[in-house]
Structure 1
Amino acid sequence: MTAFPRTPVLFLLLAIAAGLAASPARAQSAVADGQKLAFDRGKGNCLTCHVIKGGDLPGTIGPELKDIKSKYPDRSELVAIIFDETKRNPQTMMPPFGRNRILTEQEISAIVDFLQTL
């Protein structure tokens, strides 16, 4: 009688399958976290300068944040803008959220997840 082999490959495949099953829930959580950060007046504070659907008391200094995925199909460009827009536009009023450590890379990623739903 042969026993079913317990190889690392089997465990890897099971872990991948479990991760794929949980991905939609994790994605929704990231979007919710990103919206919370974007609307948080003490953290992301995007509403100070931008109109964002669903946000209260938006500013008008920056562009309205809508149709983001079509404007920035390359996710890395949007991450770079939030991290440090002064590299692309030295005259910007947008704070360099990543460079100044206002937001972590994980927080920036969550905000991008949210913005790509707009």
Structure 2
Amino acid sequence: MTALPRKPALLLALVVLTGLAARPAWAQSTVSEGQKLAFDRGKGNCLTCHVIKGGDLPGTIGPELKDLRAKYPDRNELVAILFDETKRNPQTMMPPFGRNRILTEQEINAIVDFLQTL
């Protein structure tokens, strides 16, 4: 039997670039939980200020939430924005969700997982 040449890095790059990488089940659940929180008018409440694909009755105070993975390739930047945007922009109208304990760290991470799919 002839062994196939091994090029795992090339294969991995091809899978990632073509979008064929399947999300693990736990990642899917955090994405759906994040979407639920983002659309929840009583908890994350992102739709009050932002247009989000799939959301009903969005606000227009904040920017449309799309292409966020490209805009913020480092997910920690999005986490920091949700935790306390006033550190980056003292004039922001966005509530400091983490600092004010509106959202837990786990909830913020779930919302970021969702936002990175937009």
TM-score range, shorter chain: 0.7 to 0.9
Q: How many residues align?
A: 96
Q: Does residue 110 in structure 1 map to residue 96 in structure 2?
A: no
For each residue in 1:40-84, what CA deviation from the matched residue of structure 2 results, as whole angstroms up to 9, or x when unmatched? 000000000000000000000000000000000000000000000
Q: Which amino acid aligns with 1:98?
A: G
Q: Larger Cα Rg: Structure 1 or Structure 2?
A: 1
> Distance in 2 between the 1:84 and 1:26 partners?
26
For each residue in 1:25-48, what CA deviation from the matched residue of structure 2 results, as whole angstroms up to 9, or x when unmatched? 100000000000000000000000
> Distance in 2 between the 1:25 and 1:85 partners?
30
For 1:29, what is the secondary structure of its paired residue?
helix
Q: Does residue 63 in structure 1 map to residue 63 in structure 2?
A: yes
Q: Which amino acid aligns with 2:57?
A: L
TM-score normalized by the length of structure 2: 0.81
For structure 2, the 5+ residue unaligned runs are 1-22
What is the root-mean-square deviation of aligned Cα atoms in Å? 0.7
Tell me the equivalent position of 1:25: 25
Give the Å deviation of 1:104: 0.1
TM-score normalized by the length of structure 1: 0.81
- In the TM superposition, structure 1's runs of 4+ consecutive aligned residues that sit over 2 Å from their partners are none
For structure 1, the 5+ residue unaligned runs are 1-22
Structure with a larger share of its residues in helix: 1
Tell me the equivalent position of 2:38: 38
Give the Å deviation of 1:97: 0.1
Q: Percent identity?
A: 89
> Distance in 1 between the 2:86 and 2:104 partners?
17
